[in-house]
Chain A
Amino acid sequence: MSGKIGIDVGGTFTDFYYVGEEGNPHIHKTLSTPQDPSIAVVEGLREIAASLNPPMELEEFASSIDKIVHGTTVTTNATLTRTGAKSGLITTSGLRDALEMRRGIREEQYNNHYTNVVPLVPRYLRIGVGGRLDRNGDEIEPLDVDGVRDAIEHFRHQDVEAVSICLMNSFANPDHEKQVAELVRRHMPEAYLTVSSELLPTIRFYPRVSTTALNSYIGPILSRYIDRLQDRLEDIGFGGVLLIMQSNGGVMAPSVARDSAALTLLSGPAAGPGAGLVHARVHGQNKCIVVDMGGTSFEAALVDNSPVMVNEGEIDRHRLALPMLGIHTIGAGGGSIGRIDEGGLLRMGPESAGASPGPVSYGKGGEKPTCTDANLVLGYLNPDFFAGGKMSLDREAARRAVDEHIAKPLGMSIEEAAAGMYRVVCNNMAQGVREITIKRGFDPREFPMVVAGGAGPIHSCLIAAELEIPLQIVPRSSSILCAVGMLMSDLKHDFVRTFVSPMENIDWDRLTAVVEAMIDEGRSLLTSELISADNQQFFIKFDCRYLKQYHEVSFTVSREDFQNQDVAAITNAFHREHNRLYGYSLDDGKAVVEIINVRVQALGISDKPANRETVCTGQSADAALKGERSVYVPEDDAFDIVPVYDGHKMVHGNLVEGPAMIEEDTTAIFVSRDYACICDKLDSFTIYKKSREDLVASTLAAATTVEQGK
């Protein structure tokens, strides 16, 4: 019993990555079942079992698996479609509208038709109760217990399913919230409960109340889903460990996920960056940019030793103040629609044709030209070999749509118009990569770019050219990178406490107690997830700022510096990070640095499948050559006849000079003129700028050695 499976539920497909006892990986996709995603999970397992050699019965297969890591979008979808639980909020009297006000922002300032987002808890279920703590957490007025009882009675009367508690200044003292929680537990034992000082004991009322309300809104949904999933898995004989993906790139036990459901919000793409790093390491790099281009969106993330985190995000305009991977999403995908705006400029997206009706060339009723249609006109997609030949594309329909909507209005040829669509969408994606690199103080040229998603590898050369990125890596599993990443993920739990103090004047006894308490909490959580002590790691971070700044900078504090109470070293680490992010620091010794929050990340190293390295067969890719066709080459701004390779036949060491096409069932790769592609020892297609052979030196050397041995 040692099989492991990563299962990533997407909108259209549920992806599976199975690594069996012998270590050879299996990639599988099955249609998702949005009404109950766990149906597709079991269906996919059944299909994998049947496809094995020799085939297995589902129950036999299920009992051979010791670990399933599952990524779910049920919470994200419930939030986006507003189908969460009916929940109530108990908050401080006089402040019950913070959740709906969102500090009074209107994101589109010139658009008077733009309306506020509907609050997660309607006003009649947001109840203010008396009782007050001051800014230091000292009680000014005791909690109005009768008021709390009335609120609970009201909730019961209204059939409220989940309750949130968020009181003013509770980050400094959780006592009042604890009292409320006790009453709710006693009188509404069935209700799903979220207490802000347990979920997120940090200063700033709006982010805390919003995160708390989100957790209650989706908590019951996730709990029910996990119950169903566990039942189904148990029914088929699965007796191993089930872990759930979080937005911070780590995984957690189902019991943790039930309590802190909000950790699964935006977790959809969170496994990708970790998987990307595995592929970058093959080339001696401990960092990478990971991009994923699907049908409707383009996601970009950065890994620098570990995936880069942010301390908060947003879902459907609601603030979610939990540490998560800093993944930037833009509306650019295969389905992105091209149009000419009122000023005569070509725009691509964010409107998308999605999966239905889809691009014009799908022949399912789409009328507006999409990125996929342009790719077809440009020769990047093979009309007879789309999705491995399971679907054919109508090239003439694509041409007509590009002609009518783009070429004619701009006075261009169809090919010129399609090339324009391609260039604009690549430029949009390059700007998306800028968001996670240059805007956060990283130079993209220093990072290899790992390319995932079905539509990614057609565009990556031009994106890389735009940003002067010399190395791209397209893993074999690029179309299901997240499912792979799930098996590579460790257990990860983030803790945070507000601890306001000038750096020069820290009460170390109190700070040490706060940090130790978080470490203890992490230790007991990891232990409950069956992680042994020697596989537990703890990292400390501070959020600091220069006195009177408004935004904090998060940076890692080494255990050693912390234990030695080395204020100078910690302060220097802050200056360095501030300088990296914003181009300056005030390290002249005069500027006062203050701590706002302290954080602990508890990491439980999980048991991962080994990466199997393949045998190098030399440079020649001739065996994989399957033909040639005319494609658009951006460097020439013209079409050229290029060789087409069967990607499934390319193996470690095989080298292809651009321009060339490489086709696989689920992915098409375009190697542009300035680039070449070699398969590395994990069989990834590694695309490097010609003249930068140094970046793939070890792979080239291995291939050359084999050639000489022949």
Chain B
Amino acid sequence: MSKIDPILLSVYARTFKSITDEMSISLEKTARSPILCEAKDFVTGLYDAQGNMLEQTENLPILAFSLAPVCRYILDYFDGDINPGDVIFHNDVFSMGNQNNDVAVFRPIFFEDKLVAWSAVKGHQADIGGNVPGGYNPNAKEVWQEALRIPPVKVYDRGHFRKDVWDLIFANIRLEIVQHDMKAQMGACTVGDRRVVELLTKYGFDSFEAHKLALFDATKKMMEAEIASIPNGTYEGEGQIYYDGHNEGSEFTIRVKITVADKRIKFDYSATDAQTDGFVNGTFTSSASATILTFLQMVNPDMPHNEGMVKPIEMIIPEGTVLNASYPKATTFGNHLCPPNADAIIRALAPVIPDRITAGWNNLLCALTTGMDEEKGDKYVDIGFMGLKGGSGAMKGTDGYDHIGMIDASGGLLDQDYEMFEQQTPHRLVKHEYSEDSAGAGQWRGGLGVETKYIIGSHDTQFVTFGDGDFEPAFGLFGGKDGTLNSITLTYPDGTKQLPNNKDLITGVPKGTLYHQLAGGGGGYGDPQKRDRDLLKQEIRNGIISAKAARRDYGLQEEEQ
């Protein structure tokens, strides 16, 4: 084994990060579907020959743990039959995929005829077959009603393009754009491959291996130190899921038991409710990612994202629970179980580390719209990023972040530019502003929610709603108040109103309908009476807290105003 040079170690760490960033930029600039280029719903990463995470750039935190388990699965699956020039696709949720729409490209990296690493990119595809365009099918009960399953498959074998395999995959996907986006993902993997080979050429394989292990070790120590600062013990918390898409009034509970023992932490979800018979189910990988991203927000944000970070963390997510559905259940909603999962973890740890947790975050409620833009003679698909971003929970010393969106994206998912929205859909935006009094009151208030209104510009418009947060608001902590609820209301041209369920499919919505969405605020932290009075007066002046709410929630006296 090569000797560890502490300086070279820093150089490796910096270089790995620069490689995954470069892969990320490559994909962002070349992909076509808005969910990749605008929402950046993808992750780029490097993994070692054993599938250990070397470095990642996850644009959305929910993807933090979505590639490494697949890499290991692929290694097992091909059992040594991995060769230079191979390119492997994968999305299958029953072999470590996190969500059907998230399709990964893996490219083995060889140096001196030896498998030394992998570059991989996973991105959310605009379509993945199944019953409903775009993949969100609230009526699905089995995976085949949701998506095409892609277990590990080589689309390039030793550099040879397998046209038959390619055509089989894309014969089952509606949109041609997906082919382009998958090519862009392959391009980003090539970028990673080239840079890793450059690095090995410079320092050699032995140095690479030795320093890689030293890096894992350094990060592991960082994580262990963070865990050791949490008092030993067992802590329990719950988060609630409302409605499975089929049974009106149905509810499911996520139950986590967190055990901290010196330098290790265990998240045990054994007491969580059983899986649903709809699409509201997690996969192991999506739930593990949710756990990790929530915990990462409670530790030093400079932590490198490599294998060492996850080593001291143990997760028990039994198959058959709502967080890890068994074959062949539907699971498309799985990523969106992150918010209630985070609620459970925060509630469990709030009494133990009150300085490091936030109050509850606004949960996602979203509407995917499809229809015909008559003026342009073209179909449009809109994922509705505009309306879905509520506020984050406050924490000690810091107000919640306004208009940030759900915790699984943590401000990584941006709303559309208003003018691009009107170019790409026939709709007209009427309102998109902070929603007054939406923030949970507190010494530190929650982040503000947002009110969005637009007029539907297409006949026979189809809506798919998915999400939560319309039954239970983001919770306050230590005397802080709850935020506001999510809602979507459609007002038809004849004046009738419709309130869709939070997982619904609505067709035939006429042109001229007013779409109205409220994304709720985050939970407050601490006694609102203690909020800084000057700040409060500024907020009244700025119209984000009303004078009435200031009196009611914060006890601001008339004469103070």
Contacts and interface: CB of A to CB of B under 8 A. Distances in A.
A365 interface: no
Contact of A123 (B32, B358, B544): B544
Contacts of B161: none
A581 B25 CA distance: 11
Interface stretch (B100-108, B237-245, B418-426): B418-426
A205 B6 contact: no
A241 interface: no
B296 interface: yes
Interface in B392-440: 392, 395, 397-399, 401-405, 409-420, 422-423, 428-434
Nearest to A419: B7
Interface string B461-501: 00000000000000000000000000000000000000000
Given A204-B420, A341-B302, A95 B431 contact: yes
A82 interface: no
A500 B411 contact: no
Nearest to B395: A112
A670 interface: no
B6 A346 contact: yes
Interface of A: 94-98, 100-101, 103-116, 122-124, 132, 134-135, 140, 168-169, 171, 203-207, 341-347, 410, 412, 419-420, 423-424, 427-428, 431, 434, 438-439, 500, 546, 548-551, 581-584
Interface string B297-338: 100111110000000000000000000000000000000000
B195 to A, nearest CB: 9
Given A109-B411, A548-B32, 12 more contacts: A96-B433, A97-B432, A101-B415, A107-B411, A113-B398, A123-B543, A168-B429, A343-B304, A344-B221, A347-B10, A438-B22, A582-B29
Contact of A103 (B183, B293, B414): B414
A512 B378 CA distance: 28
Contacts of B389: 104
B423 A203 contact: yes
Could you tell me the dominant secondary structure of chain A's interface residues? loop
Given A347-B10, A427-B14, A431-B14, A203 B419 contact: yes
Interface string B1-39: 000001101110111001000100110111111100110
Contact of B404 (A104, A123, A204, A500): A104
10 contacts: A94-B432, A101-B403, A109-B61, A110-B303, A112-B297, A124-B541, A342-B225, A434-B18, A546-B32, A581-B29
Nearest to A207: B417
B350 interface: no
A113 B397 contact: yes
B283 interface: no
B10 A549 contact: no
Contacts of B419: 135, 168-169, 171, 203-205
A103 B22 CA distance: 23
Contact of B430 (A94, A205, A584): A94
A134 B296 contact: no
A439 B18 CA distance: 10
A548 B433 CA distance: 28
Interface string B200-230: 0000000000000000001101100100000
Contacts of B34: 550
A346 B7 contact: yes
Given A109-B412, A110-B410, A345 B9 contact: yes
Contact of B218 (A344, A434, A500): A344
B133 interface: no
A347 B6 CA distance: 11
A115 B394 CA distance: 11
Contacts of A100: 402, 434
A431 to B, nearest CB: 5
Contacts of B395: 112-113
Contacts of B557: none
Given A122-B542, A134-B428, A438-B22, A95 B418 contact: yes
B174 to A, nearest CB: 15
